Amino acid sequence: MMKYSRYSISLLLVLFLTTTYSFAQRRLRSSENIADCAGSVHIVTPGKYLLQFTGKKGEVNDLENYPSLSDIPEENSLWCSFKAPFNGRFSMDASVRNGLCKMIVFTNETNDICGDVKKGIAEIKRMMINIDQKEFGLSAQVSENYYFPIDLVKGQDIMILFLYEAKKREKLELDIKYEKTELNTEGEAVIAAAEEAETKVVDQRTDLSKPIFKIMIRDAETGDPVIADIVINGLRSMSAFYSGSDFLFNVERSGKFSVQCDAEGYFFADREEPVSSGSEHEMVIWLEPIGAGKSVRLDQIEFQPGTSQLLPSSEPKLRRLKDFLALNSSVKVEIQGHVQEQGDNSFAGQKISEARAKRVMKYLIENGIDKKRLTAKGYGNTAPIYPDPKFAYEEQANRRVEIKIL
């Protein structure tokens, strides 16, 4: 039998404790809970939203390096983030139905706004801690509970911390507004002239003789155009925020790009595709209306074959789902798990599909979504997209998660 000296045992113990501590620190730094800065609900586009506090404080003390905030308890927090798609003016209306709420607004110093907050270097742009009304925010009509809006430059991050006075899952109504600004002759930022509300086609082409890249947003049931907000990333000439139903671009260079699409009354939709600068390209994004009994497939939530272990590539879509549910707190959903399996539905396949649905539900609950709004159900291989898959991507499509509105 192998013998260990007292020194060896002590060294092993120190290594074990150090590794455990380091793992715990990494876990805390990477919290996805909406009560923590790193798990903030990302607001992709302006609009009206209904959020819900978690009833708890976060796992990380984000404010520890702000002495001026040491007297403000973070017992029930909710973080929201917004990135300026262009130079503009950020304003908002917020209200809680019962009780009172505090608000602190930060802007970034580096590319990591939560790291800036944690270090205490993010600038506090607005702080409202003595609010005596249920309604408050940022507005040009300044009052005791409304401060001035904030001018942002393209790409700048803003982080908003809401603190509710009681440990309850209180609802928070938000109306986010973002208006484009331009500099006047004196170098001051002023609101730009608004585009016509009826405009559906957004033409960003600079050369009409070059191939067209067209994006169309359509209702999945009727085929009608849907005016939606989209955020494009990946291609420098196109990366920006747009609003419309049909978008026309020139592609200056080949590459891969991604589109995030949001429209009121619809499920979110994301696409990622390569494009070539020398050819015509057309993309149709089909949006599913939100309604009782409606379902949507989340293609990029994927699992290791034969297990309920989520693949790392699933993380962006899980965050997107979490944000969607956080911003639509009146919505209740059934999380449906499916497997890829040959033959009849087996006991093992049924159990794995249930485990997959529960794994997604666990992620959402752990990161601030009320468990009363969620149910999980496994369907085994009873509803495959490809009944007789011939390719790996078809098998992966069968191995999926769907969300159904209850």
pLDDT digit string (tens) for the chain, length 406 residues: 444 455 444 444 444 444 443 433 334 346 889 999 999 999 988 889 999 999 999 999 999 999 989 888 889 999 999 999 889 999 999 999 888 999 999 999 999 999 999 999 999 999 998 877 889 999 999 998 999 999 999 889 999 999 999 999 999 999 999 998 887 766 676 777 655 434 488 998 888 888 888 999 999 988 899 999 998 888 777 888 888 999 998 888 888 888 999 988 899 999 888 888 888 889 999 999 988 888 888 878 888 877 888 889 899 999 999 999 999 999 999 999 988 887 777 888 889 999 999 999 999 999 999 999 999 999 988 888 888 888 888 887 888 899 999 8
**Phi, psi dihedrals of residue 90, rounded to the nearest 5°:** -95, 125
Chain region(s) in the chain for CATH 3.30.1330.60: 295-405
| CATH node for 201-287 | 2.60.40.10
Chain region(s) in the chain for CATH 2.60.40.10: 201-287
Question: What are the distances in angstroms from CA 214 to CA 17, 246, 247?
Answer: 56, 7, 6
Q: What's the count of helices (H) and strands (E) in the chain, helices before strands?
A: 5, 24
Chain region(s) in the chain for CATH 2.60.120.380: 32-189
CB 159 within 8 A of CB 81: yes
CA distance 228 to 243: 6
| CATH node for 295-405 | 3.30.1330.60
CB 74 within 8 A of CB 56: no
**Phi, psi dihedrals of residue 69, rounded to the nearest 5°:** -105, 10
Q: Which CATH architecture has domain 32-189?
A: Sandwich (2.60)
Q: What is the 3-state composition of the chain as percent helix, strand, coil, each rounded to the nearest 5?
A: 20, 35, 45
